[in-house]
Amino acid sequence: MYKAHYSEDKTRSQSVAEHLQGTQKLAGEFAAAFDCREWGDGCGLLHDIGKYSASFKRRIDEGGPITDHATAGAKELYNRGNVFGAYCISGHHSGLLDGGTLGDSAGEATLMGRMKKRLDDYSAFQHEVEIPAFPAPLLKPLGKGGFSAAFFVRMLFSSLVDADYLDTEEFMKEGKTGREPAEP
């Protein structure tokens, strides 16, 4: 079983599938506030599929070197033409990336650089996760140029980052976060 997290005392573990599903649920709920539940669900479900790699397994089980697990889900979406989702997932730990250019080098700290980066095999995700369809985003013209798209990406990114953090916190603190659930 692929692990996403261990408790601090190493007595409990959260599987990658459990973490993806928990993050999916929360991100979907957050994105529902701007009528984009499916986008939140999809980004939440795919954000950590890079944890299905042998290098991440070594990292979490044996204290191996840090490995990039955020780029995998971004690549899957980017290769399917979903640039908005790719932006959100690629930066869910580091912050939204600059788009970059087609001339960026592999691994450069831009979306284009990340999309060229060679990753360890993470294909085991396919046994537990099915990549969902994403509906067309509901973008309304706001201001000039790409403002609507940028605003949408920021809202979706925020939904994903909050969901990822809260699902991890919920696991680490065994549900005892000290916060009451948000009111509808």
Q: Where are the domains of the chain?
A: 3-172
Where are the alpha helices (H) located in 91-146, listed in sequence order?
111-116
| pLDDT over 90 (residue 89) | yes
Contact 77, 85 (CB under 8 A): yes
Q: Which two tokens stand for residue 59?
A: 């990292």
pLDDT digits (tens, 9 = 90+) for 27-61: 999 999 999 999 999 999 999 999 999 999 999 99
* Average pLDDT of the segment spanning 118-135: 96
CA-angle at 38, arms to 76 and 56, nearest 5°: 40
> Hey, CA dihedral for 67, 125, 111, 157, is it positive or negative?
negative
pTM for this entry: 0.91
110 strand-pairing partners:
98
pLDDT digits (tens, 9 = 90+) for 165-180: 999 999 999 888 776 6
The fold adopted by the segment(s) 3-172 is: Hypothetical protein af1432 (1.10.3210)
* Average pLDDT of the segment spanning 122-150: 84
pLDDT digits (tens, 9 = 90+) for 144-162: 656 688 889 999 999 999 9
How confident is the model at residue 170, as a pLDDT? 93
- CB 149: neighbour CB atoms within 10 A? 15
How confident is the model at residue 107, as a pLDDT? 80
